[in-house]
Amino acid sequence: MEIGPDKEVLIKLVTMRMPFGKYKGQLLCDIPENYLIWYQNKGFPPGKLGEYLANVLVIKANGLTPMFFKLKRIAQEREKRKND
């Protein structure tokens, strides 16, 4: 059993777009931290979206935002290979 972050979830954070609200259409990883904190206090939406938003907040709050740049490159490379 592998312990550590789920790579597919991390890729989702840099490819999935916010489906509604003030930041509709933005990549989840690009939503500002202050909005994520507000959402946390209000209560994240149920399901996968809420889990993804919570993960983005944890990453940003721990100063790991640069990780998103590498993940975006990985996601772009995957998409390019898929389309070739």
pLDDT tens profile 19-40: 999 999 999 999 999 999 999 9
Over the chain, what is the mean pLDDT? Answer: 93
pLDDT at 4: 67
In Å, how far are 7, 40, 67, 78 from 34, measured between CA atoms? 25, 10, 19, 30
Work out the pLDDT band at 2, boundaries 50, 70, 90.
low
pLDDT of residue 6 exceeding 90? no
